Amino acid sequence: MRRAWPILAALLLTPAAHACNVPVFRYALEKWKPDLYRVYVLHQGPLAKQHAALVKTLGKYGPGEDVPSNLDLNVLDLDKEDDAKKLYAKLGKPALPCLVVQATNLDREVVTIWSGKLEEKAVQALVQSPLRKELAKRLQAGETAVWLLLESGEKKKDDEAAAFLEKELKRVAAKLKLPKLTADPADKLAENGPPLKVAFSVLRVKRDDAAEGVLRTMLLKSEEDIEKRKEPMAFPIFGRGRTLGGLIGAGLTGQNIEEGCALLVAPCSCKIKTQSPGFDLLLSTDWDAAFAPKK
């Protein structure tokens, strides 16, 4: 399946009267705060010492916390919170205490990304992973988009998809041009930011990589109808971890790749983020550090 790039363009861009010439990907990196992931710890009565320690660890992640992250922690006691009881029942009443992660998908529906036992390995897997760390690093360095290739599990098919994606991105990068910035204050970039450039790269996400289970699930939960599909899927990630959706199977074509890349390089309408389509990944990253004065 392919999200309708032309429809997305109509929402992201206003060709007749641009509010600014800053390209979409750079405006998103500078201005758009990532959507929050609602993380719930459901329990009944006082938490045991080991579980309280895990809650304390989770509390270190979030906007303005020790580790900047788009994570919003909610600790709910079933004996005191009616909403917690409803959520607990909807999940099938799992063993307590449990961890539940919810987010808004591309269709702006609240979906459960993950739920399970409140245990250390679940907490660590939730807040960070090697590929997510590398993804954030590349975006902070100024890459236009990092394409995540979620593999199918069939080596030949995945290698072919990766080679094709790399080839097309190289072709597109040589073809696309950045908008010309003017002296208008709306075109002024943040000081000390990364170089403004057209640059794409690919990161491959294996279906069976335990360390990337949360990342894999986030991608598959972005649309309700793709979780059971086994073809390679390519997601362009830009800004502070946002994607417009994936190109899947037969939808992974040169034309579709070029259209997606062109959208991100085009001048931004500078609308507020909530009026623009997309889905954010959960990343524990200090995005503002990309614009801090260089030492």
Write out pLDDT tens, residues 118-133. Answer: 999 999 999 999 999 9
Place of tokens 């269709």: 107
Q: Which residue has the higher pLDDT, 294 or 169?
A: 169
DSSP 3-state of 275: helix
275 contact partners, CB below 8 Å, separation of at least 6: 11
How confident is the model over 44-95, as pLDDT tens digits?
A: 999 999 999 999 999 999 999 999 999 999 999 999 988 899 999 999 999 9
295 has a pLDDT exceeding 80: no
Q: Which residue has the higher pLDDT, 106 or 41?
A: 41
Place of tokens 């009026």: 275
Distance of alpha carbon 268 from alpha carbon 26, whole angstroms: 9
First to last CA, the chain: 45
Q: What is the pLDDT, as a whole number, of residue 17?
A: 47
257 has a pLDDT exceeding 80: yes
Domains of the chain: 5-33+131-291 (no CATH), 37-128 (3.40.30.10)
**CA nearest to 60, candidates 284, 241, 281, 240:** 284
221 has a pLDDT exceeding 70: yes
Report residue 19's pLDDT band, with 50, 70 and 90 as the boundaries. Answer: low
pTM: 0.92
**CA nearest to 138, candidates 214, 74, 188, 202:** 202
